[in-house]
Amino acid sequence: MLTRREILALQSMLAAGAFVGRPLELSSLFGSTAAAQEPDWDAGELFHLLPTANHDRVLLKCSFQAPLPRAPELHVDGRRIPGQRTDTPGRFWAFDVDSLRPSTAYSFELRSGRGGALAEPWTLSTFPAPDSEIDHVRIGFYHCAGGHEISAVAHGRRTTIAVRRALLSKLASLQPSAIVANGDHLYWDLYSPRFSSLYAESEEGLAYVGRFDRSQPIFGTSNEDFVLKGGVEQIAPIYRTTFRSTPVFFLQDDHDYFDNDDATDEVVTFPPDHAMLALARSVQKLAYPEFLPDPFRPRGLPGSREDEGRPEISSNFGTLRYGKLLEVLLYDNRRSATTLGPSAVQFDPTVESWLKARMADREVAHVVNAPGQPPGWTRGNWYEYYPDLLRDGQAVVSEPKPYWPSGWLAQHDRIMESIYRMPERIPLVISGDIHKSAHARILGVGDIEMADNPVVTILPGTPGTAGSSLLTVDRPANHLELSDEWGPIGENGFMIADFYRNRVECSFYTWDSRTQSIDSIAGLDPAYVTTLEPVA
């Protein structure tokens, strides 16, 4: 970990543009945050690798220790797939492999443009075809894995990169078929009155990362180094190659747009402006994969990559489809939000129509909603579904919440009713944002009674931020009737969900930085296990 003195010593170098375009190795660029690789696999020149998959396509995002002079190749199934460079120097590359067979384990091998091996081969499997009859799949869920070592140095936070790597390694050891990482992969808030002083405007942050220049493009300017140090450094050194054989589904939330969701007389940070969209896209472009196409998801949703000639690829709205057993609907509550009173939405009406159509379809055994915003609880924050404010530790609605639009609650009710009315399914929501682990049931929303088929709402836990964020008060919103089955628990962790045709078994793993050592993470047993079944 860099000391405060070491961080401040970099200030003059950054001011002079010393890092701009330099062909440093990533281990040198990211300093002591670049932890060692897995001991049983030779990563060679590879620094990090994150794949995603569907039934016939694989998309990889990766980086190499040093810039490559020519495009690397991915060798798979007798084919050579050229890499697409995603940064200026040539450290970061993407590979898009189509026309694969469902339910097939492929061997992947990275080679240089001259044919030399860049890393040891590894395997990755495609998902079953959408019409396949499947009996079981295991999925890992968590949220809010971000956090910069600078904040750990400057503010004494306990969840270091080493802790997060240990938690993710524990998750990988449980062999999920895929993982869902629900938002807040980084924290580098630019304008939030509450948090910019901890990140982008802190003395340490300015010295180490520099200042974002809104008047310049990102790639090919000093902003590219800003994105690398402030954003990508919170992702690539944590994951390295841990999930090289596990498809990942990364959803974006507020901090991924380089800000907290604040509304004051000084600034209203959301919806995201052009610069925020460009920053979020730049980190995604470099560090983690977008969502692959799904035949049941419209192509024109916000965040579709028509601008890059890939209209079937989506940055913000995705699907994890596993045969006829499981469909996870992943949706961003920030990308397409509006804030104008009763007509306001947290996600575009075209997204809402897609969600309702998928929940009404009867083909898949389990349809799970995975939004960034969690239904059920309130912190009294501005950007919630609910009008509640926290006063003396209680959620109240006796005074108006400044800048909050009532349309958010109306959209919440429409989606909750669609979830409640899903035929012969568990009405399940697994969300993010609150930095806790929890299991609860929503028995009613507004005037809608749901006690005969309660909506199950789950917070799967966070490997990331700790300290005050985990101690923040969370209360049931006044707009609904909530039955807390377990939690919210203010410890780090994640959840494993085993989906069977007639049930879902949820196992929550938690770790308390105040009482447990990092060495204890490898031996964690579930802190709470519950089995969910459809209401008869």
**For the segment 50-96, what is each residue's pLDDT rounded down to a tens digit?**
999 999 999 999 999 999 999 999 999 999 999 999 999 999 999 99
Q: Helix 274-287 to helix 222-230 angle, to the nearest 10 degrees?
A: 70
> Is the distance from CB of 325 to CB of 137 less than 8 angstroms?
yes
pLDDT at 244: 97
Considering the chain, tell me which residue range(s) the CATH 2.60.40 domain(s) occupy: 4-46+54-125
Q: Closest Cα to residue 462, out of 486, 436, 438? A: 436
pLDDT at 158: 53
Q: Which CATH architecture has domain 4-46+54-125?
A: Sandwich (2.60)
SS3 203: helix
pLDDT at 160: 82
Which residues in the chain land under pLDDT 70? 1-25, 27-37, 151-158, 466-472, 536
Say how far apart CA 141 and CA 215 lie, in whole Å.
Answer: 38
**For the segment 4-13, what is each residue's pLDDT rounded down to a tens digit?**
433 333 333 3
Indicate whether this model's pTM tops 0.85.
yes
Q: Can you say whether the dihedral through the CA atoms of 169, 52, 430, 272 is positive or negative?
A: positive
Angle (CA) 419-422-425 rounded to 5° is 105
Q: Which CATH architecture has domain 136-532?
A: 4-Layer Sandwich (3.60)
Say how far apart CA 259 and CA 379 lie, in whole Å.
Answer: 18
DSSP state of 409: H
pLDDT at 29: 67
Q: Helix 349-360 to helix 407-420 angle, to the nearest 10 degrees?
A: 10
Considering the chain, tell me which residue range(s) the CATH 3.60.21.10 domain(s) occupy: 136-532
* Residue 63, strand partner residues: 48, 92
